[in-house]
């Protein structure tokens, strides 16, 4: 693995999940592996879990960590080649990526979709710009279209909690006042397509995800029907993909409730808006796995950093 940009960079998901679960029992067992190595975390967007769990994972491996809120504190970057830079951008990705490569051994990047221009978001100009011009490995800490560290943490959580060989997993859309990206849902769908599960995606009309990603998946617009006999319910909001970045519905009828959840385990990547996306009773109850998912972010990051360090 040269970079960790997507789930496709994982060569054997079951092995890596098992290795992460083993790491969790003794997180400092490889504390000498990262000695003398530095990771630079660049945030173009806000974070709680990704920032702290990736930092903790690096510390478990003995690495030095540098964190920069690039979105607020860095120079505005230019990604186009041949541009006359007499407008808002101050530094070209070519120089920025090469400069960071001299200060660190691995660079991890968070850069969300702008949700204004689908083609631009799908080009992943920040992540791919760094991958093109940096000379060190790149880790995706959530890009425009994917959140593979979250999906890997979700795979660990599912492995720890499943009680049958082929559980039923439902990814259900939920309402939200703001337009949110598709990255978490995309990566969860990609993850589920490779798992031994009965998988259903539930959303209102107009909220179809990228059909290239959901190809082959069962899709249901009747949430109640989708939730029947579910073992795991993963709830997430996303904005429309066809009417790109638009909020078409705020239907509170899609909020997850204790009654709708039945006996299923509840999953969400966090942060979550209480009593909009999911009611208090679910988050406060013992069927919620959200805190365990957040804990597993450390071990998903740690297994990825370990694999990259092994190749340095």
Residue 143 as a binder of ligand CP (CB under 6 A): the answer is no
Of the pair 67, 248, the CB lying nearest ligand CP is at 67
Of 126-134, 191-199, 248-256, 264-272, which segment contacts ligand CP by CB under 6 A? Answer: 264-272
State yes or no: 110 annotated in a binding site. yes
Helices (H), 134-262: 148-161, 183-193, 211-214, 223-227, 258-261
- Residue 50 near ligand CP by CB under 6 A: yes
> Phi, psi (5° rounding) for residue 291?
-75, -35
Q: Taking CB under 6 A as the rule, does residue 49 contact ligand CP?
A: yes
Minimum CB distance to ligand CP smaller for 45 or for 195: 45
- Cα–Cα distances (Å) from 131 to 157, 270, 291, in that order, read 29, 27, 32
Q: How many CB atoms lie within 10 A of CB 207?
A: 23
Using the rule CB under 6 A, give the single segment among 47-55, 78-86, 250-258, 276-284 that binds ligand CP: 47-55
Exactly one of 48, 76, 85, 291 binds ligand CP (CB under 6 A); that residue is 48
Residue from the set 123, 179, 247, 270 that interacts with ligand CP by CB under 6 A: 270
Find the residue with minimal CB distance to ligand CP: 50
Supply 91's token pair: 């530094």
**122 marked as part of a ligand binding site:** no
Q: Which helix (H) or strand (E) holds 38?
A: strand 38-43
The footprint of ligand CP on residues 163-222 (CB under 6 A) is none
Residues 74-103 that bind ligand CP (CB under 6 A): none
Checking 245-250 for CB contacts under 8 A at 24+ apart, the result is: 245/113, 245/115, 245/116, 245/118, 245/179, 246/179, 247/176, 247/177, 247/178, 247/179, 248/204, 248/206, 248/207, 249/175, 249/204, 249/206, 249/207, 250/175, 250/176, 250/177
Choice from 269, 289, 301, 303 touching ligand CP (CB under 6 A): 269
Task: Tell the smallest beta-carbon distance from residue 242 to ligand CP (Å).
Answer: 25
**Which spans of this chain sit near ligand CP (rule: CB under 6 A)?**
47-50, 142, 150, 269-271
**Residues flagged as binding site for N(2)-succinyl-L-ornithine:** 142, 176, 236, 273
């Amino acid at each position: 693995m040269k970079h960790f940009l997507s789930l496709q960079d994982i060569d054997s998901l079951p092995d890596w999940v098992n290795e992460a679960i083993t790491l969790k029992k003794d997180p400092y067992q490889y504390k000498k592996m990262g000695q003398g190595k530095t990771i630079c975390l660049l945030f173009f967007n806000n974070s709680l879990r990704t920032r702290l769990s990736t930092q903790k994972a690096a510390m478990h491996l003995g690495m030095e960590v540098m964190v920069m809120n690039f979105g607020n504190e860095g120079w505005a970057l230019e990604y186009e080649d041949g541009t006359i830079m007499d407008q808002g951008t101050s530094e070209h990705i070519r120089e920025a990526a090469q400069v960071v490569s001299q200060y660190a051994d691995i660079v991890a990047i968070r850069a969300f979709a702008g949700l204004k221009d689908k083609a631009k978001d799908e080009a992943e100009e920040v992540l791919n710009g760094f991958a093109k011009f940096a000379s060190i490995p790149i880790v995706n800490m959530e890009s425009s279209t994917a959140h593979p560290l979250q999906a890997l943490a979700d795979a660990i959580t599912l492995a720890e909690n499943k009680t049958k060989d082929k559980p039923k997993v439902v990814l259900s859309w939920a309402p939200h006042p703001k337009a949110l990206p598709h990255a978490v849902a995309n990566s969860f769908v990609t993850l589920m397509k490779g798992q031994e599960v009965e998988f259903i995606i539930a959303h209102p009309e107009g909220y179809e995800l990228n059909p290239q990603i959901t190809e082959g998946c069962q899709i249901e617009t009747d949430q109640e029907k989708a939730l029947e006999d579910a073992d795991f319910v993963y709830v997430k909001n996303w904005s429309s993909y066809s009417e790109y970045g638009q909020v078409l519905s705020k239907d509170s009828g899609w909020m997850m409730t204790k009654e709708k959840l039945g006996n299923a385990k509840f999953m969400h990547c966090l942060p979550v808006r209480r009593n909009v996306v999911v009611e208090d009773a679910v988050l406060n109850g013992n069927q919620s796995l959200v805190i365990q998912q957040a804990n597993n972010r450390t071990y998903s990051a740690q297994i990825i950093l370990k694999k990259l360090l092994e190749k340095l």
